[in-house]
Amino acid sequence: MLETLRKSIEGREARIAVVGLGYVGLPVACMFAQAGFHTIGVDLDAERVAKVNNGINPIEGDEPHLAELIANVIPTRRLQCTTDYANLHDTDVILIAVQTPVDDSDHLPRYAHLRSALQALGAIIKQGALIIVESTLAPRTMYDVVIPTLEEASHSKVGEGFFVGHCPERVMPGRLLLNIRTMSRVVGGYDEDVADTMRRLYENIVEGELDTTDLLTAEIVKTAENAYRDVQIAFANEVAQVCEVLGGDVWKVRELVNKSPGRNMLLPGAGVGGHCIPKDPWLLIANARHSYQAQVIPAARQVNRAMPAHVAEILRVALQKHGVNLAQSNIAVLGYAYMENSDDTRDTPSQTFIDLLEGQVQSLKIHDPFVPDYRGELTNIIKNTDAIVILVKHAPYFELDWHQIISWMRTPVIIDARRVLPDDLHIQGATITLLGRANNIKE
Ligand code: SAJ
């Protein structure tokens, strides 16, 4: 059966389906269709399905070339979308790209979307179909959830009635198509033959290296690579706070540390947001927790999650130096997206910061040049404020005339949590505090 599948992939006759038309599934479905495969996109959201079938890109934000790819691929009729799984009875390869959220209460994954997709698929897949999960999983999920659910729903055994693989996505908002095409991928197969078959499939859309391995390794690599980044960022945030109390400057420290071979200290900041870094560390350790109590990874999460509160404390102290009580202050927040030069607001630390100040200040206004709700005139946001708090290093903020900006303010306090302000900025009477630099209140 696998040989037949391999041949149909090589001949591009294999019929492909992608379940979940989000920022992972939709680009992949378009790319396989563009590569010549008959592809069915499945999503529960009928509006999203209708938009794509009409050649319209339903994904928010600036995704280079995605809109034209959808517009070009739909007329070829090689990509058709539906809300109905029944259309997948004849597909050879099914990619699953549904969300796998982690619950804030216990930091454990919630697989409702994954399970329902697996149950629906198991009931209709044809003999010998290959199911590949692209969603990020807590290691052991392929063995403990995916395979048993498919076996039960299909009344067949893995390796006989169907095959499974795990090829974790490595997309990034703002460069979905570029990342899928150019980044290397870990291709986890149930066995080597399956992994090799998957490699032959992905070769049609991925120019990056395809590293074949087993299911568990693929699950661990994806979650570990993001947990690693979270720990790196937490280290930078911790050194920043040490520098503040010791009278140091983390930005100078970081520059010199990184001159030491093999060091790559990342950037301190106002916190860690986005669709994967805050979540994946918890997925990595979820199924190990009964036998091993992770320490570094949860501690890193705690340091990063506490950064918005740390910035709020810096604000309170800086206002106090000007005799301004937080409760009577007008605050301007610059930057709402989770990432610079992006409109993506998922899990943004800015919201955590705003929630902390809600009800604690006289007024709070938000500006973000990329997020439609907060694109207002900067003058209106800043006029008569007692403090500006810079939470995201959007490119337009580096162009601002800070002398002019301070002239609009009622109290001249600027808290810079992303090192946007020029290092040599001195404004008479203003308080400019940079995260990670010892209370350097510049008079
Ligand atoms: N952040 C810092 N300091 C840093 C880097 C990031 O505070 O030095 C913050 C950002 O402000 C943001 C959050 O962390 O709030 C996440 O930033 P990110 O640069 O990690 O961007 P993401 O969340 O889009 O991460 C993605 C991930 N890619 C995939 O999951 C496929 C991650 O693995 C990549 O390392 C990262 O992009 C990247 O390298 O750009």
CA distance 39 to 91: 9
Which of 135, 172, 225 gets mutated to test ligand 1 (max ligand atoms within 8 A of its CB)?
Answer: 172
Report the pocket of ligand 1 as residue ranges, CB < 6 Å.
170-172, 225-226, 229, 233, 266-267, 269, 272-274, 276-277, 338-339
Which of 183, 235, 339 gets mutated to test ligand 1 (max ligand atoms within 8 A of its CB)?
Answer: 339
Question: Which tens digits make up the pLDDT trace of 35-93?
Answer: 999 999 999 999 999 999 999 999 877 788 999 999 999 999 999 999 999 989 999 99
Report the nearest-CA residue for atom 1 of ligand 1.
272
Q: Is the dihedral of CA 392, 397, 403, 406 positive or negative?
A: negative
In this structure, are strands 185-189 and 162-166 parallel, antiparallel, or unpaired? antiparallel
Atom of ligand 1 nearest to the CA of 277: 23
The alpha carbon of 291 and the centre of ligand 1 are apart by a number of angstroms equal to 30
Atom of ligand 1 nearest to the CA of 225: 33
Q: Which phi and psi (to 5°) does residue 191 adopt?
A: -150, 180
Strands (E), 253-295: none
Question: Which tens digits make up the pLDDT trace of 158-211?
Answer: 999 999 999 999 988 888 899 999 999 999 999 999 999 999 999 999 999 999
pLDDT at res. 439? 62
Do 442 and 347 contact (CB within 8 A), yes or no? no
The alpha carbon of 199 and the centre of ligand 1 are apart by a number of angstroms equal to 27
Buried (b) or exposed (e) across 303-327, using 16+ Cβ within 10 A?
A: bbebbbebbbebbbebbeebebebe
Do 40 and 87 contact (CB within 8 A), yes or no? yes
Report the nearest-CA residue for atom 7 of ligand 1.
269
Helix (H) or strand (E) holding 233: helix 215-246
Length of the chain: 443
pLDDT at res. 442? 41
Terminal Cα-to-Cα distance of the chain (whole angstroms): 75
Range with the poorest average pLDDT among 194-198, 220-224, 343-347, 408-412: 343-347
Atom of ligand 1 nearest to the CA of 280: 30
Do 427 and 419 contact (CB within 8 A), yes or no? no
Residue 58: exposure state from Cβ atoms within 10 A (0-12, 13-18, ≥19): middle
Report the nearest-CA residue for atom 31 of ligand 1.
170
